[in-house]
Amino acid sequence: MRLPLIWLRDLVETELDASPLADRLVAAGIPVEGIERAGHELAGLVCGVIEAVERHPHSTHLLVARVDVGGRSLQVLTGAPNTRPGLRVAVAPAGVYVAGLKRVVQAQEMGGMRSEAVLLSQKEAGVGEDESGLWELPPEALAGASLAEALGLDDEVLEVAAYPNRPDWMGVVGLAREVAAVLGRPLRLPAVDYPAGPERADELCDVEIASFDDCPRYVARIIHAVPQGPVPWWIARRLYLAGMRTISPVVDGTNYVMLEAGQPLHAFDLERLAGRRIVVRRARDGERITTLDGQERTLDASMLVIADAERPQARAGLMGGAASEVSPTTRVVLLESATFHGALIRRTSRRLGLRTEASARFERGLPPSLAEWGSRRACHLLASLGARVAAGSVDRRREDDEAPVSISLRPERVNRVLGTQLTEAAIAEPLVRLGMEVQFEDDPEEGRARRLQVRVPAWRRDLQEEDDLAEEVARLYGYDRIPTPLPASIAAGRIPPEVDWAWQVRPALTAAGLDEVITYSFFSPAELEPLGLPADHEWMRAVAIANPLAEESSHLRTTLVAGLLRGARLNASRRQGIVRIFEVGRVFRPRGEARDGRAATGAGQAEAAPPAHLPAEVRALEGLRPEERLLAGIAMMLVPAAAPRQWYEGVRAYDFYDLKGVLEAAADRLGIALEWQPTELEGLHPGRAARIRATADGRRVVAGWAGELHPEAAERLDLPGRLYLAELDLDALRPMRREVTARTPGRFPAVQRDLALLVPLDMPASRVLDLVRSHAGSLAEEVRLFDAYVGPHVPEGTRSLGITVVYRAPDRTLSDEEVDAARQALLQRLEAEGIRLR
């Protein structure tokens, strides 16, 4: 809230200026978000005193006034009914911009007479709602003085935020209490007494509460001789500095108390309340109300209303109704001061998108005792303006009102949490300064410090246990006075194996020429629709988020492909011809879903039931926790037309083998052996997709997949080229790294034999190489593929693979005969597998 310094100084004495005061408050944990000098809208306006008034010669409604503005007189034309000599007025001289008029004032001719300035109403000056006549300034307004300065409207104001658990910081009293505690000064509470009139409140109205859960307390007082006319300047000034406009005495009085105490009030015209009854209840579905802002709204049973005997007259905690609004003809006022259930007000406020100064306070949960204090304070103010307050009040509250809370505080707990060595006196002192009653226990045990019995004040419902009090001690003691040693013993930390593994994978992919990207963990399965996946595809069955921020982030991602597609498309749309990207990140699946036929367990997560001593709500969440897997996702695309041209060679689009090469290079660097199996995968080009496996020590696991995005999907996504995608399951690959056992390279010369093998078209080259390796004999050191040929020179249904076999013995130079024998044996065994020499 906006805290004017002069209002603060009404309650606590301080010579500090705004800036040093703000520093002290921030150091004590009160968030001061800014310091402002008010009164900007009044720039250029001056005070004037009317010296003489005459009728305009040619106009029946205009008057000609001579106005003293200090050292000179201006002639000003005005139609205001209260124009009279001696009146102090707000003058806008020519050249000044007046926000309320939305223009710069200029000297004008009206009916042959010159008007050199404009005299302003409250509304035109922007300080109030009154536009019935000229704003009548108080005696402080000396002719010629700057209006803002003379009236103290340019004072300093601190903008203070209030944490959700500190409703008392939404009132000057609450903030003054903090300032008093921080500076060690006494707090001067405002007066709440008033002379009681002959009438009795409980004879003039009745109040019924349907549910004390919704409304813990409702206090009604009755006011006759309702003051009309402007409020005294000291009230108007404080309201203005705090950011409110003056409206009418009763409303100004309730606003004043709301800002001062943090307790919103509402005034009803009692004679317009049917049956002179207040009923605090839930609305019935379909009831309607027209609120003060002129809007007619339909209500439902989730909303709390203040009704009379017949119909709703106000939305509780939010806004009053127009029908029972206090007006200039109101003779009797029912003044409401109540406590409402914070969460209920907050929910209704959010649903309606309606947030008021009142609702902002109620939703934090006010103490019921504040309702009574606020009611008395308002009556004190209104009585000082001439109102007559009926005796007594109608006060409805629960039988067993909130018992005062007392916390037993152990100094050793405080010192343990804070890391200090404060004495019991040093702990008690800040608590007392904050307005708490502290007593020491009588008979402490041997060798133990005395406990403190702390009575928690009504306005501190946020203090519930010892650690809450420890924080209060710490923030007043001063966080900067708490010693800062390093912890005495830190067990040596280590990086978890999964994290370490990810940190190895990323450089391996970067070394293979890819750029790392990070994409969002949330997505929408709708993004993958262009891929034409069936509805039960594992990527489409995602864990939904109960309260998503946006449609695009409605689910936890099941694959890295969505993010990679976004990245590829963005770069393609910005004419980036070469895209080679990867992401290492987690994907999420609904718990219990099998993946690749294996039992559903997340990596490193035990499937034990949650411990029985946890709260029930926490145990219930375990069943919802999605499974996580760590994946590496890769995307590659080269669009020759957009790629930078090279001077020494051309560029060509990527193909499947570029992707395969990148993955093999990265796997090799990580010590992992991959196997490729061509297959058809949904969303991918049917002839250019493969399942990837990893092998080590006789084990074989599924490691991922790779392929070209299906051309139809690419077209739907407006991709200008062929996009290659892959995912590797890093959790599955982590145990598949091979240990290297070094082998001494052979010193004796090798003999190389090239073979042209005719193989069936559907036999993958990897199978052929595997067969050659297994049948080539112990002298074969290396087997390589160097050529593949399909065409008229080989029989139909076959292709020719050129394979080099390198033979070397560790202990001797091989003879041609030995090599030929091995080659012969190899060809014989290959023939049995259907592979012939060409």
Helix residue ranges, H only, 105-153 = 122-125, 147-150
CB of 548 to another protein, least distance (A): 17
Which C-beta is closer to another protein: that of 83 or that of 571?
571
Tokens in use for 365?
């949960």
Closest approach, Cβ 419 to another protein, in A, equals 10
Contacts (Cβ under 8 Å, ≥6 apart) of 133: 80, 81, 82, 83, 121
Selection from 781, 783, 753 nearest residue 768 by Cα:
783
569 within 8 A of 717, measured Cβ to Cβ: yes
Q: Of the two residues 227 and 430, which places its CB atom closer to another protein in the complex?
A: 430
Cβ of residue 788: shortest distance to another protein, in angstroms? 34
Minimum Å gap between C-beta 791 and another protein is 40
Residue with Cβ nearer another protein (518 or 545): 518
Task: Please say which residue, 23 or 54, places its beta carbon nearer to another protein.
Answer: 23
Q: How far is the CB of 19 from another protein (least distance, A)?
A: 11
Classify residue 225 as left (phi > 0), alpha (psi -120 to 50) or beta: left
Q: How far is the CB of 531 from another protein (least distance, A)?
A: 20
CB 262, CB 379: distance < 8 Å: no
DSSP 8-state secondary structure symbol assigned to residue 749: P
Q: How far apart are the first and last CA of the chain?
A: 90
Min. distance of Cβ 488 from another protein in angstroms?
14
CA-CA distance, 273 to 529, in Å (whole number)? 60
**What is the Cα–Cα distance from 408 to 96, expressed in whole angstroms?**
63
- Which residue, 83, 97, 154, is CA-closest to 125? 97
- How far apart (Å, rounded) are the C-alpha atoms in residues 236 and 215? 31
Which of 330/420 has CB closer to another protein?
A: 420
Q: Count of residues for the chain?
A: 838
| C-beta of 613 vs 793, nearer to another protein | 613
**Minimum CB distance to another protein smaller for 296 or for 480:** 480
- Continuous H helices in 232-356: 233-241, 249-261, 342-352
* Minimum CB distance to another protein, residue 296 (Å): 38
Task: Give least dist CB 35 to another protein, A.
Answer: 8
- Is the CB of 31 or the CB of 44 nearer to another protein? 31
Tell me the closest approach of the beta carbon of residue 574 to another protein, in angstroms: 6
Phi, psi of 798 (to 5 degrees): -130, 165
Backbone dihedral angles phi then psi of residue 110, each to the nearest 5 degrees: -130, 110
Amino acid at 106: Q
- Smallest gap from Cβ 61 to another protein, in A, equals 47
Q: Which of residues 118 and 157 has its CB atom nearest to another protein in the complex?
A: 157
CB of 42 to another protein, least distance (A): 21
By C-beta, is 172 or 463 nearer to another protein?
463
Name the residue nearer to another protein (CB basis): 248 or 519: 519
Are 250 and 243 within 8 A, CB to CB? no
CB of 461 to another protein, least distance (A): 14
CB of 524 closer than 8 Å to CB of 566: no
* Exposure of 328 in the CB half-sphere (CA atoms within 13 A): 5
Q: Closer to another protein at the Cβ: 208 or 471?
A: 471
Tokens of 320: 């009053």
Q: How far apart are CA 119 and CA 191, in angstroms?
A: 37
Cβ distance to another protein smaller for residue 425 or 482: 482
> 97 vs 163, which CB is nearer to another protein?
163
The residue (of 440 and 479) whose beta carbon lies closer to another protein is 479
> What is the nearest approach in angstroms of another protein to the Cβ of residue 570?
6
**What is the per-residue DSSP string for 532-585?**
T--TTSTTT--PBPSS-SSGGGSEE-S-SHHHHHHHHHHHHHTT--EEEEEEEE
Q: Within 332-394, where are the H helices?
A: 342-352, 357-362, 368-384
- In this structure, are residues 440 and 451 in contact, taking their beta carbons and an 8 Å threshold? yes
Q: Are 683 and 709 in contact (CB under 8 A)?
A: yes
Residues 464, 448 contacting (CB under 8 angstroms): no
d(C-alpha 592, C-alpha 605), whole Å: 13
Return d(Cα 492, Cα 503) in angstroms, integer. Answer: 20
Question: What minimum distance in Å lies between the beta carbon of 582 and another protein?
Answer: 11
Residues that bind another protein (CB under 8 A): 26-29, 31, 33-34, 163-166, 416-418, 465, 467-468, 470-471, 474-475, 479-480, 515-520, 566-567, 570-571, 574, 576, 579, 581, 611, 613-615, 618
Q: Do residues 153 and 4 touch, judged by C-beta distance below 8 A?
A: no
* Helices 172-183, 249-261: crossing angle, 10 deg rounding: 30
